[in-house]
Structure 1
C-alpha cells in the first residue's frame, strides 16, 4: 500500500505477538517501528515522530507506565494505547492517569485493536490540523508570500526563503501563541524518520529573527521554549 496512514511505535517484548501485530498493522497501511523494551521505546520517541505508541505494560528494563510518564514530559501530543494482561480497574485508571489515551486488556480482538488505532490517530490528526494562513501573511511590517517563497521585511528588503524555511515559518504561524514541539516540526518540515538536531532548528529560528525582528536579541515574534519547542507570536 502506497499511502502511509501513520507512523506507529510498537513496544511489545513477546515476539510472536509483536510480529503478528506488526504484520497486521502494516497490512492496514501503517509504518511500524519496533521496540522490545522500555528504554528502547523512550529512545525511539526522542529520535522520530510517531502518530501513535502501542505499549505493553510488562516490559523489560522500564515498564509501560514508566515509559508513558517519561514520554509525556517531552511530548504531550502523541496518543498512547496501553496493552495489558492485567484486567482490573486500578491498573486501567493508573495507565490513563499517567497519560495513556486508551487501554486494552489481553487477550484482545484484533479488529477492535485496529479500530482503536485508527480512531486514536484520526482524532489526533484532527486536533493537530490548524487552519491554513493562506499564501500571503503580514506581521510587524513584514510580508511573506508562501507560494513564491519570497518575503519583504520591515526594512523593505527582499528575502528569498528556502522551502524548509517557508514550511517551518508557516507551521509556527498557523500555531500562533502555541509551542510547536520538535516532533511536530520533524513531521511537517523534515519528513518522517529524519531527525534534525536541535541546533538545526535553532539556526532556522535565528534566521527568522535576522530577517523579521527589529531587535533580534529581544525577539517579539520568534521564541524558543527550552526543552519543548518553538513559538510564534505576532
Structure 2
C-alpha cells in the first residue's frame, strides 16, 4: 500500500494501544453485565420485543470477538465504541425506554447518526477492498464515495422494511405514528431523508480526502484499521 506523508504529531501525550484496549474492555464488561441482568428480567416478564432488542445489543458487544476468531479481523476500539453506543441509544433507550416517544428529536438524531455511521462503514469497506492485496481493484475516489453513500442508504432502507414488517406482523409501533399521519409514512420518509443526509456528509468528506489528501475525520480509523490488520493490505 502506498504510504502518504502524515503531519507530525504534537507534543501532547497519546494513550497507548494497551490503555485504549483496557478502557474498551472495561466499557464492554460493564455494559454486558447491565444488559445481561436486563435480558433476564425481560425474559421473566415475557417482553419479547425488548428481549430481542437487548439480544441485538449484546451481539454488538461480542462482535469484535467474532470478527477476530472467524475472519482474523481486528476492529478499532473507537469504532466499536461508537457502534455499541449507537445501538444502545437506538434500541435500548429509544425503543425499550421509549425515548422516541418522550424526546421528539431522538428519532431524527439517531437516523442521522445511522447515516453517518453506515457511510463510514461503507467507505471503510470499499477502501479496504481497493487497498487489499487479495483483491485486484483500483477504484476512483468518486466511485468509493458513491458506493459508501449507496451502502448507507440501502442499510437505512432495509431497516425501514424491518420496522414495517414488525408492525404488520406483530402489531408493534416501530414506525411511529405522527400527528395527522397514523400510517407512519411521514416518520418513514423523514428517517430515510435524514439517513441519506448523514451518509452524504461522510461521503463528501471521504471523496475530498481521497481526491485532495486533505484531513478527514475518520482518517485515524482507517490508519488504525490498517495497522491492526496488516495482512489484509498491500505493502
Point out the structure with the larger helix share. Answer: 2
**Higher normalized contact order (CA 8 Å, seq sep 6+, divided by chain length):** 2
Point out the structure with the larger strand share. Answer: 1
Q: What TM-score do you get using the length of structure 1 for normalisation?
A: 0.25
Q: What TM-score do you get using the length of structure 2 for normalisation?
A: 0.25
